[in-house]
A and B are shown apart, each in its own frame.
Chain A
Amino acid sequence: MRLGAPKTLAQTWKSRALAFGQFVLPFLFVGGLWELLVQTHVVTLASVPAPSSILVRMWEMATGEGILWRHLGRSMYRLGIGYALATGAGLILGTTLAMSRILREMLSPVLSLLISVPTIAWVPVFLITMGLGDRTVITAVFLGGFFAITYNTIRGIEMVDRNRVRAARTMGASGLSLFFSVLLPGSAVSILTGLRLGIGYSWRALVGGEMLSAMISWGIGKMIYQARFWNDVTAMFVGLMVIGVTGLLLDRLLIKQIERTTVERWGMLAER
């Protein structure tokens, strides 16, 4: 970590506000340009709505009956369950494979073969074997996150200093206590990378799964898919924006927060 005068709280907020401004400005610029093109009738296609009408529609969907929240809430429920399962299973399998050389040699080629299949391609299999509802979507979410988390857990634990593990073993640590006090903290950086990739993949798999599952009626992916039947481009844009913003928030708030309370505090991250 680079040493220097610690930032005051005001400075931190100022630099954060600046970063936020720099992030938002390009969108205002592009959105403004687009709005201008539509308002001045340079672009007159009915299927290209002005940003203002997209925002108005978004507002209507968010307030009023709150359709947007219902879609989003349903999606979050599926994401939560699927991602939690993926995290649990990924950590367990990853640790097991990292600790056992023979299992790793047996299974890691299989894993890399399975990774190469797009998550969405499994959805038809789930649709047939598990029905057209929530179970299929949740399984897709699970599968989306699972591989990334497993893979990065293996890598992380492999990178933990062997002497540290031996020392802990000598001092009598084994099983769960070895895992929680030595392996998990030691591989936290890599595991967090996995969690971060994982939530991205899970989120994408969720949207795809919702679009393809016929028996569900709520969910952000479903919202976009249904909009197709009325060629409702404005609603599609609302959906895409919500997907983008939520994806960004999941990454920035959730994962960043975990990072801040763990590896950053433990001084395992170089200052970025």
Chain B
Amino acid sequence: MTARRILLPLIPVASFLLAWELAARFGAVNPALFPPPTAILRQLALMHTRQLPERSLLLTHIAASLQRVFIAAAIGTALGVAGGLLMGVSRWVHRLLEPIITFLMPIPGIAQAPLFIVWLGFGDPTIITVGVIATFFPIAFNTSAGVRSIDPQLVRAARIMGASRPRILTSVYLPWSAGHLLAGLKLGWARCWRTVIAVEFVAAASWGLGYMIWDASEYIRTGVVYGGILLLMIVYFVIERTLFRTVERWTVERWGMIHT
């Protein structure tokens, strides 16, 4: 069964790649626009090895993007959880922030980028700020939804047993909303990743996967463009498999909330 699940998807992928390879090799499509997959891989390998003793261009690009994503996601998560808890606990904060978040959330990060370029200049400050904003909204939204769904009896019980307000926040509200929170984290971090890549297109100074793809497309280096997209898939896949799974195991599964 597992073999079937792995092998079946390989059929369309392999035949697509093979057809592409042959079409490009034998001139059925323009190899300048659609370089054969093997050429794309070679180009990626070349980017990795060309300046190797000092550094790998490829890994530097990946590291630059990941660093931005991690910083932005960390700040955005902290702000988002704090904001969400506040919105969940206080009706007034909720009334104030909920419409504003609803309005601002759908505005794409890349559209905010020009504004922050004026304010903060090209490079990391702009990219990370827009990334923080992108992370903040879904996490705040979901955390507040989670907190608001709490059974008030639990809060009362905790209060009767003498728990302080901060204690109630960390030991009652937070675990209760863990399911919502986790959904928010996934949304927020995925969004952070997409936004950082997108903003790198317009605001990066020299490094980053988004910058690499955009720069390559300006010089019509198609191999690098396709290779960059392949890298985006791989990096995202690895992050999802490692980070998300780990977080899930730490929190929700341990608290036995996976089925709610």
Residues of A at the B interface (CB closer than 8 Å) are 22-27, 29-30, 47, 102, 105-110, 113-114, 116-118, 120-125, 127-129, 200, 203-204, 207-208, 211-212, 221, 224-225, 227-228, 231, 233, 236-237, 239-240, 243-245, 247-248, 251
B217 surroundings in chain A (CB, below 8 A):
124-125, 127-128
Partner of B213, one of A121, A211, A236: A121
**Bound form: Cα–Cα A117–B98 in Å:** 29
Partner of B108, one of A30, A102, A204: A204
Given contacts A105-B8, A124-B217, contact A243 B107 (CB under 8 A): yes
Task: Tell me what chain A mostly uses at the interface: helix, strand, loop, or mixed.
Answer: helix
Q: Is the CB of B107 within 8 A of A105?
A: no
Interface size class of B (residues with CB under 8 A): 35 or more
A108 surroundings in chain B (CB, below 8 A):
9
The 10 closest A-B pairs by CB, nearest first: A124-B217, A118-B194, A204-B108, A109-B9, A228-B114, A247-B106, A120-B198, A116-B236, A208-B110, A105-B8
- Give per-residue flags for B118-141: 1 if the beta carbon is below 8 A from chain A beta carbons, else 0: 110000000000000000000000
Q: Is the CB of A117 within 8 A of B110?
A: no
Asked if B240 lies at the interface with its beta carbon under 8 angstroms from chain A, I say yes
- Shortest C-beta distance, A243 to chain B (Å), equals 5
- Shortest C-beta distance, A189 to chain B (Å), equals 19
A22 surroundings in chain B (CB, below 8 A):
95, 99
Q: Is the CB of B34 within 8 A of A106?
A: no
**Bound form: Cα–Cα A224–B202 in Å:** 12
Q: Is the CB of B110 within 8 A of A124?
A: no
Q: Is the CB of B228 within 8 A of A121?
A: yes
A240 surroundings in chain B (CB, below 8 A):
107, 111-112, 115
**Bound form: Cα–Cα A227–B114 in Å:** 8
Partner of B34, one of A129, A204, A248: A129
Given contacts A105-B9, A207-B108, A208-B110, contact A128 B225 (CB under 8 A): yes
**Bound form: Cα–Cα A117–B227 in Å:** 12
**Bound form: Cα–Cα A212–B197 in Å:** 14
Q: Is the CB of A113 within 8 A of B237?
A: yes
**Bound form: Cα–Cα A29–B142 in Å:** 24
Partner of B111, one of A29, A114, A224, A248: A224
Q: Is the CB of A231 within 8 A of B111?
A: no
Given contacts A117-B229, A236-B115, contact A29 B108 (CB under 8 A): no
**Bound form: Cα–Cα A114–B12 in Å:** 13
Asked if B28 lies at the interface with its beta carbon under 8 angstroms from chain A, I say no
Asked if B176 lies at the interface with its beta carbon under 8 angstroms from chain A, I say no
Asked if B33 lies at the interface with its beta carbon under 8 angstroms from chain A, I say yes
Q: Is the CB of B106 within 8 A of A203?
A: yes
- Shortest C-beta distance, B23 to chain A (Å), equals 14
B4 surroundings in chain A (CB, below 8 A):
105
Closest B residue to A126 using CB positions? B217
Partner of B103, one of A127, A203, A248: A248
